[in-house]
Amino acid sequence: MEYIEISDEMKSRAIVESKRREEAVTKTGKKAFKHHFTIGGEDMKLFNDVLGFLGQFAFCSYIGMDWHDSIRTDYSTIEPAKIEYKGNKVRVATERIPPEYLDRVLNKTLTEKEKYSTCLYPLGQINLLKNYNIVFFGAFAIDPKDYNIEHLIRWYPLGWIEAEKIMEFPISPKTPSGASLPYPAFHVNIKNLRHISELNEIKPNRLMYRKRIFDVKGFVVIDSTDIENKMKDPVINFEIYFNNRLAKELEQRCKLALKNGTGVNLAVDEPTYTVKGEDDRLNFICISNNWDKILPWDEKKAYKGRFFQVQFWLQEKNDYFGNMQKVIEDVKCIGADKPLKRVVIYIRKPLLKQLLDNCKDICEHGKGFVINARVYFRIEETNSWRGIEHKFEVYSSKLGSALGFRLNEEDNDANTFLKIQFSIKKDACNDFDGAISHVQKR
């Protein structure tokens, strides 16, 4: 069993560094360090800070590095600790494990649903991942209710994983056994961690080339055809057709959304879409005929983002994971009645009054209506509490308060309550160079 003994000097220095970091300010005088979560009083906060520093010091000793060299001279900026091993920049993450679980954690014999079968990487620290090649997890054997720094005696190495792969693990605010966490986190299964002896080369991190990693309240974009908005593909002749029944439903949702100060969304399960080729274009038509597939709307959890979006969620396929090129090929493949998992329409708050006014006028005519807008097209791989998903979508963040509306004079098909159609150029997404595509599936 490998471990590092924690010296009295390590503990005293960890306390000093925790207080230095807590007191640090930026050039503008603002607090430099922000906790991604806080629990309990000052003693508990200090313990958690010390736990992190001791893990850092212990890892340095583990790889034969002088732990004093990992201490920063200044905490006024957010920079990674200067820890490298065989050319890899290392992020050290430290867990606390009850002593009775230690042997099973170290031997990796816990089942996936058991306590402590995963290591946690806080979702709030996702943008720090691009600063490292690997994340190394270690642990102290200490009771969860014990916050006595003197009881931090031995640090145990658990193993490492590539930093970019953290984004692929499940996200949850709960432990595998169902206990609540103080923060949502990626759950890295301990069986995926590798021994330090297996780290013999520099592990690339394609996240380093991003300005930022995308995280919207627990929704993470792993890969996208317009990452950093460098490759926007415009949509041609985008329109959404609502029949009269759906227009009335949308009217009611708009009223609730305006009352609650949110946007509105509409989700429909199991629609189909057809792709047809015409000259240099691909024409998309998505329809839904089953009213029972409209999902109930919880206005308390309504969409508040800036975007106007229509998302088309693809059905799961084993060869999609980490292979965006395959996803792109399937989305653009010409074919009829291709099944979708779900279509979701998001309409943000500034557009609601205009939408509601049009709904009122149109519903009085007993007709449906059509929305058109200038939007863009992209294909994405994402991670959330639902797990890894793939989708294509049309979107805009610059609509202001303007959407195009017109009466749907052809509202004769009572069964087709929703129809979405648009075109893209055949070469759309062809220049895609994935941020972290072609990873090996675990």
Rounded to 10 deg, the angle between the 8-23 and 42-62 helix axes is 120
Give the Cα separation of 124 and 198 in Å (integer).
29
Nearest to 289, CA basis, from 310, 271, 316: 271
Can you give the pLDDT at residue 427?
A: 93
The pLDDT-based confidence of 156 (bands split at 50, 70, 90) is very high
Q: Rounded to an integer, what is the distance from CA 323 to the centroid of its chain?
A: 17
- Percent of the chain at pLDDT > 70 equals 88
Cα–Cα distance for residue pair 220/167, rounded to 1 Å: 8
Q: What is the pLDDT of residues 400-440, one digit of tens each?
A: 556 777 777 665 556 788 999 999 999 999 888 776 654 44
Instruction: List phi, psi (to 5°) of 102.
Output: -55, -50
Q: How confident is the model at residue 302 (pLDDT cuts 50, 70, 90)?
A: low
Q: Is 359 helix (H, G, I), strand (E, B) or coil?
A: helix
Pick the residue with more confidence: 25 or 342?
A: 342
Range with lowest mean pLDDT among 9-13, 229-233, 367-371 = 229-233
Determine the average pLDDT of the residues in 18-40.
74
pLDDT (0 to 100) of residue 160: 98
Q: Alpha-carbon distance 358 to 361, whole Å? A: 5
Measured CA to CA, the distance from residue 97 to residue 103 in angstroms comes to 10
Contact (CB, 8 A) for 389 and 400: no
State whether residue 59 is helix, strand or coil.
helix
- Give the largest Cα separation in the chain, rounded: 80
Please tell me the distance from the alpha carbon of residue 321 to that of residue 388, in angstroms, as a whole number. 8
Say which amino acid occupies 261: G
d(Cα 56, Cα 67) in Å, to the nearest integer? 8
pLDDT band (50, 70, 90) for residue 260:
confident
